């Protein structure tokens, strides 16, 4: 009985990993001072780097995002130290730079389920199996 308890305790302790992974752009603590006075996109790329994303509709905005993803064993992982830098760009000039931190960023919850694809064909396991018959050539024939 003691062996079972020891094994169970070891398994529970092994599942309790604590680690933090950084996701996205790594912002220095002096980011507010670093972006002050930036007027052109060349200066922005030189000081901050290339953007992770650019908007394609409406005003052009360059987006930089960084966060820490915290893993706490069997518990849900959390995100902390969220920072987003938005640079509103017009051609080669930077109109405005906005930095959002944890309190400024709204919490967004993912919806459960999947997004349906219009006109998608859904097959059951047997239909999938028979649908693939004859699609693949035998190995080595080069067809």
Using one digit for the tens of pLDDT, what is the confidence trace for 116-127?
777 777 888 888
Instruction: Please count the other Cβ atoms lying within 10 Å of the Cβ belonging to residue 35.
Output: 19
Over residues 121-139, mean pLDDT: 76
Residue 103 has a pLDDT of 80
Number of alpha carbons in the 13 Å side-chain half-sphere of residue 131? 8
Over residues 50-64, mean pLDDT: 88
pLDDT at 138 over 70: no
Over residues 111-136, mean pLDDT: 78
- With cut-offs at 50, 70 and 90, classify the pLDDT of residue 143: low
d(C-alpha 61, C-alpha 69), whole Å: 25
Residue 100 has a pLDDT of 86
Q: Is the model's pTM score more than 0.75?
A: no
């Amino acid at each position: 009985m003691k062996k079972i308890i020891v094994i169970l305790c070891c398994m529970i302790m092994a599942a309790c990993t604590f680690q933090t992974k950084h996701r996205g752009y790594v912002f220095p603590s002096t980011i507010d001072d670093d972006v002050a006075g930036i007027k052109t996109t060349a200066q922005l790329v030189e000081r901050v780097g290339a953007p992770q994303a650019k908007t394609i509709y409406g005003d052009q905005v360059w987006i930089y995002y960084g966060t820490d993803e915290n893993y706490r064993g069997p518990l849900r992982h959390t995100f902390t130290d969220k920072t987003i830098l938005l640079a509103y760009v017009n051609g080669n000039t930077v109109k405005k730079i906005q930095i959002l931190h944890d309190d400024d960023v709204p919490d967004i919850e993912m919806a459960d389920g999947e997004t349906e694809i219009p006109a998608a064909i859904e097959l059951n396991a047997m239909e999938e199996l028979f649908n693939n018959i004859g699609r693949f050539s035998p190995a080595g024939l080069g067809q």
